[in-house]
Amino acid sequence: MDDFRKLFAGAAVLVVASLGANAQTAAPVPGKTYRIGFSQIVDHPALNATRQGFLDGLKAAGFVEGKNLVFTYQNAQGDVGNARNIATKFIADGVDLLAPCTTPNVQATIRVARGGTIPVVFGCVTNPVEVGVLTSLDKPTGSNITGLYGAQPVRELMDLVVEVLPKAKTIGTIFNGGESNSVAANAIAKAEAEKRGLRWVEVQITGSAEVKTAVESLVGRVDALFTPQDNTLASAFDAVVKVTRDNRIPLFSLDTTSVSRGALAAFGVDQYKLGVAWASQVAVPVLLGRDPASFVPVPYRTFDLYLNSATAAAAGLTIPPAVLQRVKSDK
């Protein structure tokens, strides 16, 4: 718990790899038009905020749509086959940089782009080594692939659940077993829950149409719901919020955008700021000539606590003052 308090205390800390030669003082080449192909697996608020941050990070460095930047965005609609086709089309169009967001899109993109001449600068990935995107996190990639990654603060969110609900005995979760980030987060969350003497109940889904039924299956069985950053879940999150609110089940999430949508609390990254960092610390240096083969992937570990006081009131919960002091934003 001491580590948890230290993590929340004061300003959040951004830990990044020492950029060294990655740092750039150059500007975009006058008269040149830069082309970026950006893809994400589905359309939902967290990923959309990341994309906007990415665009704004580019703009701050002088890459401006309508001036010297052609930014093409494609949504894979939850289909990995679509993600692969999107990457293939971007390559055929001769983009200067591929920017896939989310693990499925990154995996699909590198299947068709690895070893090519177009840099792949990925984002929205928890563990690029575990999912086969990279072989190391602390060495230059030696390929046309690099990016920004960040683990989900699962342990810290579980600490928050215990602090807010000290009498809780059973925690439930829902996740897509086909999303590697969600599977990894679930394994950690389950272990952390059991360390704290909590019973863990999980329901796996394969598509957004199953979300509402999955949440309803947990009613009366759990004292709280714990959700990872799961793209399938996020695309049907309104159903999660409705069921949990109607049944006064406290909802905790690793997706910070979930709080504005009705979750009780979230601990995780600010998706917009993550997008800015992805652009400014990785994409911009590569666009300005940095060889991705010599670029060490950049970790992003800035976490914030978000709270929805209206949701807390509807659930009849009183949030401990110590938690309130650490809140970055009350939706």
Residue 8 lies in a domain: no
**Which of 42, 54, 79, 99 is CA-nearest to residue 234?**
42
What was the pLDDT predicted at 12? 34
The reply to whether 4 falls in a domain is no
For the stretch 320-330, pLDDT in tens is 999 999 998 77
pLDDT tens figures, 124-168? 998 899 889 999 999 999 999 999 999 889 999 999 999 999 999
Based on the fold, state whether residues 43 and 146 are members of the same structural domain.
yes
Residues 273 and 311 occupy one common structural domain: no
- pLDDT tens digits for 53-97? 999 999 999 999 999 999 999 999 989 999 999 999 999 999 999
pTM here is: 0.81
Whether 121 maps to a domain, the answer reads yes
Per-residue tokens: 198:
């909590």
- Residue 179's pLDDT is 87
Chain segment 167-193, per-residue pLDDT in tens: 999 999 999 998 888 998 999 999 999
In a shared domain, residues 319 and 295: no
Do 138 and 234 reside in the same domain of the chain? no
State the residue for tokens 């905020």: 49
The token duo for 253 is 């999430």
Residues 240 and 325 in one domain: yes
Residue 57 inside a domain? The answer is: yes
Other CB atoms closer than 10 Å to residue 6's CB: what's the count?
Answer: 9
Same domain for 113 and 163? Answer: no
pLDDT at 331: 64
Q: Is 274 a domain residue?
A: yes
Whether 127 is covered by a domain: the verdict is yes
Residue span of the structural domain in which 215 resides? 154-268+305-330
The answer to whether residues 180 and 315 belong to one domain is yes
Compare 22 and 249 and report the one with higher pLDDT: 249
Closest CA to 180 of 140, 125, 234: 125
For the segment 250-275, the average pLDDT, to the nearest whole number, is: 95
* 3 domain residue, yes or no: no
Residue 23 has pLDDT above 80, yes or no: no
Instruction: Give the model's pLDDT for residue 67.
Output: 97
Report the alpha-carbon angle 150-163-14, nearest 5. 25
**Domain holding 241: CATH number?**
3.40.50.2300
Number of domains in the chain: 2
Query: What average pLDDT does the structure give for the chain?
Result: 90
- Token pair belonging to 321: 């003052």
